Amino acid sequence: MEQKTYVMIKPDAVARGLVGSIVARLEAVGLTLERMELGSVTAEQAAANYAEHEGKPFYAGLVEYVTSGPVVKMVVSGPDAVAVVRKMMGATNPKDAAPGTIRGDFGLTLDANIIHGSDSPESAEREIAIFFG
């Protein structure tokens, strides 16, 4: 089923020059980049995107990190795009992510884990609205 999902390449990956490698992987599996923008995440966007984590011990650090530098925001589409991107990203903690996944190959720490991808079609719709209006 054709889907859209939201993908964000996080500040650590942008700073390390990994954008091209990550985008190439998404395209190589047949996903389509419908929209892509280098920019920053506002505190308001971060709060809206990570609202389900508010009150958790890691929340403040997550918001601080994602607003700390440039990110690449993308709308990606293709058959089962949400599940495909989630599988490609690998486990949230890079030390648990399989080799061949984005986090397994490029991730360094749980806090700086390279990439964000929507976890459901509903989240994708909400996140695309947060970052692209």
Active site residues per annotation: 116
CA distance 123 to 58: 20
Helix, strand, coil content of the chain in percent (nearest 5)? 45, 20, 30
N residues, the chain: 133
CA distance 132 to 7: 12
Do 29 and 104 meet the contact criterion of CB atoms below 8 Å apart? no
One-letter amino acid for residue 9 of the chain: I
CB atoms near residue 120 (< 10 Å): 12
